[in-house]
Structure 1
């Protein structure tokens, strides 16, 4: 049998249906895929929980009682002071995992398979960051339980507690886009992990997370007070009613809740734009 082919017929590559709803649907499909993958590799989730728990226990019992918080060397006061910093550190350190995951997908050619489907280009990255957000939320819940066990308490009610956790997750989601950009830029998952951690250490430690900026030299104190990480830590301490709220003329320290929101939204807008642009150029 002879098959006659029309020379005017062309093979078209799949194209994504436009619209915000289609993009949201595609993002949720990718997020579900990544969540299922996490469930099938439980050791990734377990190891992600162990590190912040170790930080809480070690800092609480090693430094507790030796750091002046609010004019006192009380171990209980330091543990309440510490938890906001540990929460913020935990959600931002998840950035390294996000970058490594995206770099791994790129390295294995999984992204090329996604390109063959009629889906939104930004959905691959959005779905990955949403899945990481769910894992981060689980880690925060476990960390809060451990914090209560070592003496951490909230003093301003449950609604403000949930507001503080929402700010933490928003910061973690914002930083995950930085990790996504790093994962798209480097060639291997190992490089993405290293690149994701190098900049996180100065961001988390040049802040008000573990010591008051008042103890720092003047120029370093100004850096710490305008650090987006510090704004979220200050907001959490304010909402939790924990000690260690910094009194400063810097706008982020005077209005930490608004500063945390503004910083997180700006980071998402900037780095999501850069990451999606990099993704399109890398897979073009």
Structure 2
């Protein structure tokens, strides 16, 4: 009779898949470095090169554009991590390794959760790197310990939500190249059409409407309120949490359905 606990086996299988994905990240350092460095490059570009121009146009002398910018770039960092996740999942599906896993006595969801946890760890390292560079550049958050905890919880929740959506998109992509393109709305389009770089009030009316009601904006405004003390409505915090829950639930359900069908199309 096996003495393996039904609880320990899923945890052990997930840990095995996590180690596998971390080793894959080590074998493809260019993609990992791209995920880590791209948000820092954007920080240097918009903080140093365009910072004074944006500062003069938005708030004048009493406005610190770097403080305004960093919370938005935290979302960009989380979105950037979705590219490598979608590519890795699609590669597993198209190269047949998932078919082999299906024939093994393992906890089936561990294949997906291993990707999610590995991506989450990489994203959190990217976020820490961005904050560290921002502090060296002069970013001075005014958050209390409790506000840092809330901001950290929101960062983790958003990262999990975007990662599950990236897993779902990777599972439904036919090639790794297609997977890298299908996540562009998370990594590029939505950040630019939100309050990441400029306040919503300064946008043209049509874009302003879209930016106000898309998922990224309430998350960014909540992070700004927590980290640098800008005025924000409590409804933004609840809306940010609701978006995280909705995207996580949708991405998870879509991923499970696609994975159980065993199709990459």
Both structures adopt the same fold (TM-score exceeding 0.5): yes
**Partner Cα distance (2:62, 2:39) in 1:** 19
How far residue 115 of structure 1 moved from its aligned partner, in angstroms, is: 0.8
1:179 to 166, 174, 183: 166
1:206 to 193, 206, 209: 193
What residue ranges of structure 1 are gaps of 5+ in the alignment? 1-16, 247-252
Range 50-59 or range 32-41, more displaced? 32-41
**Are 2:111 and 1:131 equivalent residues in the alignment?**
no
What residue ranges of structure 2 are gaps of 5+ in the alignment? none
How far residue 145 of structure 1 moved from its aligned partner, in angstroms, is: 0.6
How far residue 173 of structure 1 moved from its aligned partner, in angstroms, is: 1.5
How far residue 44 of structure 1 moved from its aligned partner, in angstroms, is: 3.2
Q: Which has the larger radius of gyration?
A: 1
How far residue 195 of structure 1 moved from its aligned partner, in angstroms, is: 1.2
Render the CA deviation track for 1:87-124: whole Å, top value 9, x for unaligned. Answer: 11110121111110001111221111211112233221
Which residue matches 2:261? 281
Higher helix share: 2
Asked if 2 retains the 8 angstrom alpha-carbon contact of 1:207 and 1:225, the reply is yes
Q: How many residues align?
A: 261
Which residue matches 2:53? 66
After the TM superposition, which residues 57-96 of structure 1 pair with which residues of structure 2 at under 5 Å, given as runs? Answer: 57-68=44-55, 72-74=59-61, 77-96=64-83
Asked if 2 retains the 8 angstrom alpha-carbon contact of 1:207 and 1:227, the reply is yes
Measured at CA, do residues 82 and 153 of structure 1 come closer, stay the same or move farther in structure 2, by a change above 3 Å? same
Asked if 2 retains the 8 angstrom alpha-carbon contact of 1:174 and 1:268, the reply is yes
**Partner Cα distance (1:85, 1:180) in 2:** 23
After the TM superposition, which residues 110-121 of structure 1 pair with which residues of structure 2 at under 5 Å, given as runs? Answer: 110-121=97-108
**Are 2:176 and 1:189 equivalent residues in the alignment?**
yes
How far residue 158 of structure 1 moved from its aligned partner, in angstroms, is: 3.1
How far residue 281 of structure 1 moved from its aligned partner, in angstroms, is: 0.6
How far residue 224 of structure 1 moved from its aligned partner, in angstroms, is: 1.4
Which residue matches 1:50? 37
CA RMSD after TM alignment: 2.5
**Partner Cα distance (1:177, 1:165) in 2:** 18
Measured at CA, do residues 240 and 191 of structure 1 come closer, stay the same or move farther in structure 2, by a change above 3 Å? same
Which residue matches 1:228? 215
**Partner Cα distance (1:189, 1:217) in 2:** 36
3-state secondary structure, aligned to 2:86: helix
How far residue 126 of structure 1 moved from its aligned partner, in angstroms, is: 1.4
Q: What is the TM-score when the length of structure 1 is the normalising length?
A: 0.83
Q: What is the TM-score when the length of structure 2 is the normalising length?
A: 0.89
3-state secondary structure, aligned to 1:81: helix
**Are 2:231 and 1:267 equivalent residues in the alignment?**
no
**Are 2:152 and 1:165 equivalent residues in the alignment?**
yes
